[in-house]
Amino acid sequence: MPFIRKVHKWVGLLIGIQVFLWLLSGLMISLLDPAKVSGQYQARPAQANTQNLPSGSLLEPQELAQDQLADALSIELGMNRGKPVYRVRHSDDVILLDAIDGSAIVTSQMNAESLARQDYSGDGAIASVTRGMAPDMETRNHKGEYWRVNFSDHVNTSLYISAVDGRILERRNDFWRVRDFFWMLHIMDYAGRDNFNNALLIGIALIVIWLGLSGLIMLFSSFTRYDFYFLNVFQAAKQRTVTLIDPEDGSARELKIRRGANLFLALSEQGTDLPSICGGGGDCGKCRVKLESANLPEPNPTEQGLLPKALRKQGFRLACQHHVAENLRLHLPNKS
């Protein structure tokens, strides 16, 4: 058990702060409202694309510029902002071709602003528009060029709009930014905030699991059935008499202590605080008392580590390591 306790303490010391950050970030992520984080709370409901294709003359795929179609994964004739277009999807991008004249379609800044205004239902106005050529932290799940439309609301909403087909790529705001920061802390990917299979996280998780397992083992050893005595309200507690002997004048004082109670805690409850730094953890070895009893308990491994053999032989024990089983006499330490 001293070994298990040592593992628990040292892992706790080394990476307890990360466990704290995991719990804190997990809690923060749960507390943030998902509708706010996603920006849905100030987005107008999307209208299903139910516009029919026009019946007039349109280009066939064979009539489009074939180099644009090379290696396409799909080619779809559909409607985009009221116009028939071919949407050509490649493995890492999408291009739009006008189905009437075959020209490439892009989303201009003006288009982007009007699309952003259509989508946004908050009370801000467009404050600025910038163009992005490559994904940044807020658009990291997308490839291709985009417009970033910033609104002047109190959560600094930014709508990201594809510069190709005008899709709303992302709705970002300060709720999302806070959430993303905590997500970064949670998965320990400080650069990309995306990869939870990173080596740092794996390494720390493999160490911290020992904190949990050692804690679980200690949970079993630190509780006894007497800890649950309060649940048993009908049965009177059996009491034991502990006689405290004053080191100065040898006077004796009797205390009634519930059978099974931890000696160190029971004395503390009755106003007799033994010297201690760790508070009953079996770490500091300061709560040593000399016991006299018909059945003197054997010193456990913790005491073997903290008490010299000579003292153990004289009957010295650590109060925090023993439960009150029998009546016993106990020599208090000198005050000095």
Partner 1 sequence: MRNRAIHIRLIHKWLGLLVGLQVLIWLGSGLYMVLLDINFIHGDSLVKNMQQTVAIPQNPATDMAGLRARYANATAIRLTAVMGKTFYTVTTPDERVLIDTESGNVISPLDEKTASEIARFHFNGDAGVKKASLITSDPPMEIQTRQLPLWRIDFNDGYNTSFYVDPYTGTLVTRRFQYWRIFDFMWMLHIMDYQDRADAHNLLLKTAQASGLLFCISGLWLLFYSFSGRRRKEPDRP
**Per-position x/- string for 215-244, each x denoting binding to partner 1 as judged by CB under 8 A, each - no binding:** xx-xx--xx---------------------
CB of 107 to partner 1, least distance (A): 19
> Does position 192 bind partner 1 by CB under 8 A?
no
Pick the binder of partner 1 from 3, 40, 44, 53 (CB under 8 A).
53
- 290 pairs with which residues across the strands? 316, 331
Q: Which helix (H) or strand (E) holds 150?
A: strand 146-151
CB 159 within 8 A of CB 119: yes
DSSP string, 198-213: -HHHHHHHHHHHHHHH
Which residue, 120 or 303, has its beta carbon nearer to partner 1?
303
Pick the binder of partner 1 from 184, 283, 315, 332 (CB under 8 A).
283
Which residue, 75 or 237, has its beta carbon nearer to partner 1?
75
Among residues 133, 142, 200, which one has the least CA distance to residue 167?
142
CB of 71 to partner 1, least distance (A): 5
Which residue, 63 or 123, has its beta carbon nearer to partner 1?
63
> Does position 61 bind partner 1 by CB under 8 A?
yes
Which residue, 16 or 124, has its beta carbon nearer to partner 1?
16
What is the longest distance spanned by two Cα atoms in the chain?
114
Neighbours of 179 (CB within 10 A): 21
CB of 187 to partner 1, least distance (A): 8
Give backbone dihedrals phi and psi of 329, rounded to 5 degrees, phi first: -105, 140
**Per-position x/- string for 299-328, each x denoting binding to partner 1 as judged by CB under 8 A, each - no binding:** ------xxxxxx------------------
CB of 127 to partner 1, least distance (A): 31
> Does position 213 bind partner 1 by CB under 8 A?
yes
Angle between helices 2-31 and 174-187 (to 10 degrees): 160
Q: Which pair of tokens denotes residue 218?
A: 């200690």
Which residue, 149 or 306, has its beta carbon nearer to partner 1?
306
> Does position 260 bind partner 1 by CB under 8 A?
no
C-alpha to C-alpha distance for 145 and 134, rounded to whole angstroms: 6
> Does position 137 bind partner 1 by CB under 8 A?
no
Neighbours of 88 (CB within 10 A): 22
CB of 105 to partner 1, least distance (A): 16
Q: Which pair of tokens denotes residue 185?
A: 């802390």
C-alpha to C-alpha distance for 179 and 171, rounded to whole angstroms: 13
> Does position 281 bind partner 1 by CB under 8 A?
yes
Instruction: Please choose, out of 15-23, 110-118, 236-244, 291-299, the segment that lies near partner 1 by the rule CB under 8 A.
Output: 15-23
> Does position 12 bind partner 1 by CB under 8 A?
yes
CB 258 within 8 A of CB 270: no
3 state DSSP class of 67: helix
Which residue, 102 or 308, has its beta carbon nearer to partner 1?
308
Which residue, 131 or 313, has its beta carbon nearer to partner 1?
313
> Does position 67 bind partner 1 by CB under 8 A?
no
Characterise 82 by phi-psi region: left (phi > 0), alpha (psi -120 to 50), beta (else). Answer: left
